[in-house]
Amino acid sequence: MAQPVVLLQGAFGILILALIAVAIITGDFALGPVGLWSVLVVPAFPGSVVLLARYEAQPPRWTARRFPDRERRRARMRRTRMAVPPGAWRFASARPPPTCCWPAGR
């Protein structure tokens, strides 16, 4: 089952890398024995880990469910064995697609 926290981990990783790129481009500013960007970048990772742990501990906010009208439509499509909507071939071509990928004559 897919976990949305993985997407958040990637987003936080991108944000931290962007912060490092800005630090490289602008240069460092001294704040006593350490630089300003070190003070900003070092807490960014533990902060993102804490936020992700809090998010993962929460119960799911929504669950996927099937809609009854969609199920009825799918059942109707299976009953009629209709693979394409009516009139679709009219716009694509005058004849149905070939059943094989080889040219005729082989």
Domain of residue 75 covers 1-82
Asked whether residue 88 is domain-assigned, the answer is no
Asked, for residue 87, whether it belongs to a domain, the answer is: no
For the chain, what is the domain count? 1
In a domain, 91, yes or no: no
Is 8 within the bounds of a domain? yes
Q: Residue 32's pLDDT band (boundaries 50, 70, 90)?
A: confident
Q: Each residue of 33-69: pLDDT tens digit?
A: 888 888 888 999 999 999 988 888 887 777 766 666 7
pLDDT number for residue 79: 64
Q: pLDDT tens for residues 81-95?
A: 555 565 555 555 555
Q: Is residue 90 part of a domain?
A: no
Q: Is residue 103 part of a domain?
A: no
Q: What is the pLDDT of residue 84?
A: 58
Residue 26 lies in a domain: yes
Asked whether the predicted pLDDT for residue 77 surpasses 80, the reply is no
pLDDT for 92 equals 53
HEC readout, the chain: CCCHHHHHHHHHHHHHHHHHHHHHHHCCCEECCEEHHHHHHCCHHHHHHHHHHHHHHCCCCCCCCCCHHHHHHHHHHHHHCCCCCCCHHHHHCCCCCCCCCCCCCC
Task: Output the CA angle 51-55-57, nearest 5 degrees.
Answer: 120
